[in-house]
Amino acid sequence: GDWQAGHAGDSPYRLLIVRHDRIAAEWHGGGIGPEDLQGQASASKSTYSTVLGIAIAEGVIGSADDLVADYYPEFLDVAPDEGPKENRYAFPENAGITFRQLIGNMSGYMKPGESPGRTFNYQTFGMNVVTHALASEYSMYRTSDPERGAGFGRLAERKLCNLIGGSWKWVYSNFELQTNAKLGVFGYATTFQMTARDMARLGLLWLNDGNWSGKQIVPAGWIRQATRVSDMLLQHEPKSLWQYGLGFWCNDQGMLWPDLPKDSFAAVGAGKQFIWVDREHDLIVVQSPGTFEGSFSPAIGAQAAEQVLAALN
C-alpha cells in the first residue's frame, strides 16, 4: 500500500490483493472509491474469452476451431470502402478464420497480406467479431440493428457476472472510422466497467480454473489453454512475442515477466487496468487504476505484483 501510494502522488489508484480466496488487503486514494466503476478497455478481452469458453461448453459454438463464417457470415461482407480505414477490409482468405484465431489475435482479419493463424496483431475489430458472433448465436445481436439488441454485454451478465456476484456495467462504443465503415459488423466494442472487487471476482474465477463456490462456470480446460501462450504464436512468431494466449497475457514461456512465476497471467487494459493471477502463490493482484514507472504496458503492469511477492517472501 505504501509503495502504491508513493508512486501515485495525487493520481487516483486502487490496489486489491486476494490470497487463499479472501481479500488480504485493499487500498484506494486520489479521489477514487471502492465502488467507483472503471472502464476495462482491453482487459475486457479476457472476459470475452471466458464467455467463449462458456458458449463452447453449452454447445452453442462447436469448438474454438470452428470457422467463424459458419456462425457469423456477415463478418466477411466488408468491402474495401466499408472497413475501418483505408486498405482494411474483409478478403477471401478471411473465410478460413476460426474463433481460436480471433480470440488469440492471430486472425489477420481485414489485414490484407496476413494469413489466418500466422501473425500476431493486437486488434479490436477481430475481438468485436467474437462478441457479435456469440451474441448472435444467443439471439441477442443483429448487425442490421446493433443498438436494438441486448448485445454481448447482457450475454456476459447472464452467463458470467450474475453467477459470480458481480456488479459490473458495460458500454458499447466505436472509434472514429471512415464514413462507410460497417460498424454493425465489426464495431460496437463491449467495454466492461468494474469495481476493483468485480475484477477480483474474475481473477478468482480464473485462478480456480472456472469454478465458483463449487460450481463449474467455465470449463477448466478452457481456462488452462486460454492462459498459456497459444500454439499458433509459438509456431509462427519469434520468441520475443511469446506472451499471449486466448484473450490473456501469459507468462508460461517466461517472456513477459522473467522474474515472476511462469504460471502467472493477466487481463490488461488501457487506463492502467490490471488483473494479475498467480497460481503458484494462490494470489490475485488488482490495480484499477494502477500507478507505474514508465509507459504502461502488460510487462510494466506487474510492478505491484513484484512488490507483493517480495512482501510474501
pLDDT tens string 192-225: 999 999 999 999 999 999 999 999 999 999 999 9
In this prediction the pTM is 0.96
- Would you kindly state where each structural domain of the chain is located, as residue ranges? 2-312
- Topology given in CATH for the domain delimited by 2-312: Beta-lactamase (3.40.710)
Q: Is 192 helix (H, G, I), strand (E, B) or coil?
A: strand
Name, in order, each residue with C-beta under 8 angstroms of 19's C-beta and a sequence gap of 6 or more.
Answer: 281, 282, 283, 284
Distance set, CA 138 to CA 96, 132, 142, 155 (Å):
23, 10, 11, 8
For residue 293, the model assigns a pLDDT of 66
For residue 4, the model assigns a pLDDT of 67
- Report strand pairing: 215-216 vs 211-212: antiparallel
The more confidently predicted of residues 165 and 290 is 165
pLDDT band at 313 (very low <50, low <70, confident <90, very high): confident
For residue 5, the model assigns a pLDDT of 65
